[in-house]
Chains A and B, each alone.
Chain A
Amino acid sequence: MPSMKTEAVPMIAARDIRKHFHGTEVLKGVSLDIGKGEVIAVIGPSGSGKSTFLRCLNHLETIDAGSIVIEGETLVETDAAGHCRYAPEAEARRICRKMGMVFQQFNLFPHLTVLQNVIEAPLTVKGLSRDAIVPRAEELLRKVGLLAKCGAYPSQLSGGQKQRVAIARALAMEPDIMLFDEPTSALDPELTGEVLRTMRQLAEEHMTMLVVTHEMSFARDVSTEVIFMDHGEIVEARPAGEMFADPRHPRTRAFLDHML
């Protein structure tokens, strides 16, 4: 089971998350605490439930049972009778705004330019003025190396560039936590490097990150902790160095042997 953290209030505290799709149990009671500044890599075979777990954390999926508390605020809890209750819609949206998310398929808004993609949510959700947000958006785009592409549309970008814009777009909402759902899986191999570099840079700035990934080198070199999931459960959770040097569980060992 995951280690208990010493911080009083974890950034994310997920308890006993259960979720099924059409009779198949995808998450069989997953618990995880994420402390401030931690970078947690979630690895495991496809179908292990790792992406679903990530999507449950920010309410893209509705859980059947368990509780999720984000920075001390309850998104969802389950009472003694087993009734799973979410915070009211607007409240849930506000809580989930603490988490930014990057998708495998980028999901940029195709009708908006790169800059418009980045400023859209700060404008409409936070109600900031253009004057307030544009300089910050430009700074973020410079950080991901795409300031020159400001006026381009997503269809004019490479996959790696799209994903870096998606990261800048998420950061523009100033989240405390970043969730990455297989951010490099849809990319050509030669384009994964630029995205991983951007993520590494974020980690170095002590962003709290939860990364579902098949990039074992990223998991080993950048993350503070690695979680191995299989069949809807966390099989093993260890500091990155230990996990790769000495996986304890046979299933972890088999998976790592296969991947490395």
Chain B
Amino acid sequence: MSVAIPNVPARTSRRRGILTSRKGRVGFAILLALIAIAAFAPLIAPHDPNAIDAARILAPPDLAHPFGSDALGRDVLSRVIYAYRVSLGVAVGSTLLAFLFGVPLGLYAGYHGGWVDTLIMRPIDMVLALPALLLAVALIAIIGPGSDVALLAIAVIYLPILARVVRSSTLVVASQTYVEAARARGTPSRRIITRHVLPNAIGPAIVQATILMGFALQIEAALSFLGLGAQPPTSSLGVMLADGRDFLTQAPWIEIFPGVAIAITVLAFNFFGDGLRTRLDPRGVAR
């Protein structure tokens, strides 16, 4: 009658605290710091990120400019901080957008099944079949470059992934006895979906979204590197990487610091996602 999957409920585990794993705590701490840096960029950045200083062209790191200066003599640290703000915004925004639309789609497809499932999931599968970056480039080719378009493109890439994850966990939850019991109590199906299925099925999608956010930063950087993301004067980490690549041998600091920022962010999101998985998705623990 019931599926023999141990059911660790989302709500109660939250009460005991998400951050029981060390990895999760480390990831969470780094993320908090990174978000603070992005949020308070004007307060933290030591210099104007766009101030050109002819005397400091390709100057190596020193005390006043710990990350050195770029080809126009701009302070790399300040530029990384401001660029990070744009990159993180695109990464988080795109994932949230995909989450906002992907979760309801997967939920309804999984709960109703049959032709509703087919109608929702077949187009999503088609999007999923296309190579992610190619899809993003094609979209940008249609709409035109810009960080908001990059955000949209990443959301389009992520929506099918999140919809699939939610659909599969919904299939498991919808067959549980407590959902049938809710039906037997005469609970309207809309309420069953929002109050009984969603809270029990959302866990894996939250984990997936967290990890996807880290990779969104990478995709954004790739698009910007190709000149398809943020446009000057706006800078993002990818733009910085593109700008610095001609000076890699003379002034590697222009490349290294934005690269490190990307790496740390992806790592932090992954750690945090793993920590969440341990709490929210009992099947992930056994893996």
- B partners with A: no
Q: Which B residues are closer than 8 A to A by beta carbons?
A: none
Q: Which A residues are closer than 8 A to B by beta carbons?
A: none
